[in-house]
Structure 1
Amino acid sequence: MDSAARLPDTQSAPLSLTPLTLFRCLNDDTRLSLVLLLHSRGELCVCDLISALNHSQAQLSQTQLSQTQLSQTPISQPKVSRHLQPLRESGLLTAEKRGQWVYYRINPALEDWALDILSAAARASESQIQALAGHLFSNCCVTDTCG
């Protein structure tokens, strides 16, 4: 069996992403952070996404930068996977399983209007993306600590 396998999603079907579906996908802080991080950094392993979200969440909680109530509980792999699932199902993201790890990226077949929206959101959220990206290189995929 090939160690690099595509996960079941909509990438082989024609994209039918509508503006309503896109905005529903982005109508959550965690999903928006995941999409913006992938938009700016390209392909990332789920363990790096978890690492970035957890470090960013802890940093915001400690410094009181956010007006929202943030839990001090780390974001788990199953929770992140639940956030990634509708993004894959909508065609916004693609996923590739390599061994035991899954790598995500923005679907290269996205239409220009959707890419324009993501680019505009990324420009408006540059400092948030930089804070997330500062915690990407956990090397969990290299050190075999991904679950």
Structure 2
Amino acid sequence: MVRANPRSAAEHDGGEVVIGLDDLGDPAAPLLEFAFAAAAARRTSLRVVHAPNLPPLYGHGPLVGQLASQEGGVTGQSEKALSAGLAPWREKYPQVPVAHTVELARPSGVVLKAAEQAGLVVVGRRVHRPALGMRIGPVAHAVLHHAAAPVVVVPHG
């Protein structure tokens, strides 16, 4: 599918690579490898975006007090985890400038917002064997349907 887009192919080639990460405790190595390698090959920067998964009923209960009282709250904790997870990749690809964004919002919206001026968008798809064929998650689905930039879906464990 090709979308009508006022940006030219040259503008996409020069834009940063955007990657949406879901799980900071175990970031997907194939996803990060692809995104860093793509940014290095394009000689551009990499923007890593993450929207923390909030516990159910985040607005109520004792868990809220515990999370909020910890240093930095949910966003601060996610930023620390994201920085720690990216450290080995920054060492492996020192030529790639890396920025990251953590927002308390819907993950698909966070990725699509970051992708507005991107040259390439990278999202993952967990590999599992569903009974009725391959499936992609809601973020990959939204990005495939709404991002103006080229999108790569990388399967990972």
TM-score normalized by the length of structure 2: 0.27
TM-score normalized by the length of structure 1: 0.28
Which structure's residues are more often strand, by fraction? 2
Structure with larger RCO (C-alpha < 8 A, sep 6+): 1
Which structure's residues are more often helix, by fraction? 1
Q: Which has the larger radius of gyration?
A: 2
